[in-house]
Amino acid sequence: MHLEFIDCFVLTRFAPSPTGQLHLGHVYAAKYACDVASKSGGRFLLRFEDIDTTRVREEYYEEIEQDLHWLGIESTGSPLRQSDRLSAYSDALDKLKVMNAVYPCFCTRKEIQQEINSLTNAPHGKESLLYPGICRNLSLAEKAIRLDAGDPHCWRLNSVAIRPIAERLFFTDQLHGKVVVDPDLLGDVVLARKDITTSYHLAVVVDDAYQEITDVTRGEDLLPSTHIHRILQNLLNLPEPRYHHHRLILDTNGKRLAKRDDALSIKNLREQGKSPDEVLAMLA
Ligand code: GLU
């Protein structure tokens, strides 16, 4: 049903975290999503990725909406807050548990580091070392005892168990072409953190389906995450959106803009007297 809709109806979203001010990089992403929708007479939604309550600050929700409004980037309806959707994420996690696609991991950072140091051939993703699978092989009894005892744990994707499914999958990115899913790219990635019982990956997949997003537009730094998202969509029987991983706005040193780069925050640019058109022109 979802795919039949694509030609006649496009729904995109911009999903910032209210943990800082919007900067030019965010505006590029928001404008991109808005333009993809408006070119096809579709709609554009705003979603707050606010599950990390330790970093979220209340004032940023409003500031982000005000900045977008000031720039003329208007979304439809009231924004979805991921913090309101925790039970949907835990339902999805329960399904993955039943399938044995996830396992509880009780490791501390220190234990993971020690294990990595002791290995001559620690598993390596494209950019960084991967979790070396310590808890993947815990026995059922061991897991049950530790879960019953309430030992702090996160839940990780079992990249070994899901490999036969993952290896058949691919996605087609509108800018990068056909991409074959590689379950080893991020390895046994965390799907539910110790503290918040979900993660970016799980929440975004559940919400893209819930909001019936037809086109996921986001920075190309998130391309590796899409491998995980396709796996989760397949396991949870959720529709596959179209993907557009666009370029990133970089600072003068060629680095990705971060929230701490206040100089290029929209608030700052506005206070310097720049007009919305001047700010949008800076994206080029
Ligand atoms: N919150 C992410 C970001 O600001 C967006 C993630 C997504 O669009 O899936 O980069």
Catalogue all structural domains in the chain, each as residue range(s) with its CATH number.
Answer: 1-84+250-284 (3.40.50.620), 86-207 (3.90.800.10)
pLDDT of residue 124 exceeding 70, the answer is yes
Element of type H or E holding 13: strand 11-14
Task: Name 78's Cβ contacts closer than 8 Å, sequence gap at least 6.
Answer: none
The pLDDT, as a whole number, for residue 120 is: 76
Given ligand 1 and candidates 12, 14, 17, which is best to mutate, with the most ligand atoms within 8 Å of its CB?
17
pLDDT of residue 103 exceeding 90, the answer is yes
The pLDDT, as a whole number, for residue 256 is: 73
Q: For 33-74, what is each residue's pLDDT tens digit?
A: 999 999 999 999 999 999 998 999 999 999 999 999 999 999
Q: Which atom of ligand 1 is nearest to the CA of 221?
A: 10
Mean pLDDT of 17-21: 94
The pLDDT, as a whole number, for residue 153 is: 98
For ligand 1, the distance from its centroid to the CA atom of residue 205, given in whole angstroms, is: 12
For ligand 1, the distance from its centroid to the CA atom of residue 149, given in whole angstroms, is: 35
87, two tokens: 């039970």
User: Degrees (nearest 5) of the Cα angle 172, 228, 7?
Assistant: 30
* CA nearest ligand 1 atom 1, residue: 16
The pLDDT, as a whole number, for residue 237 is: 98
* CA nearest ligand 1 atom 4, residue: 16
Greatest Cα-to-Cα distance within the chain, rounded to the nearest angstrom: 64
For ligand 1, the distance from its centroid to the CA atom of residue 128, given in whole angstroms, is: 20
Proportion of the chain in helix, strand, coil states, percent, rounded to 5: 40, 15, 40
pLDDT of residue 261 exceeding 70, the answer is no
The pLDDT, as a whole number, for residue 3 is: 42
Q: What is the mean pLDDT of the chain?
A: 92
As beta bridge partners, residue 243 has 173, 216
pLDDT of residue 4 exceeding 70, the answer is no
pLDDT band of residue 225 (cuts 50, 70, 90) is very high
Mean pLDDT of 4-20: 82
The secondary structure of residue 18, as a DSSP letter, is S
Q: Which atom of ligand 1 is nearest to the CA of 204?
A: 9
Q: How far is CA 196 from CA 45, 107, 154, 193, in A?
A: 24, 16, 9, 5
Label residue 34 exposed, middle or buried (CB < 10 Å: 0-12, 13-18, 19+): buried
Please indicate whether residue 64 or residue 250 has the higher confidence score (pLDDT): 64
pTM of the model: 0.92
pLDDT band of residue 97 (cuts 50, 70, 90) is very high
Mean pLDDT of 141-167: 96
Among candidates 116, 101, 112, 165, which has minimal Cα distance to 135?
Answer: 112
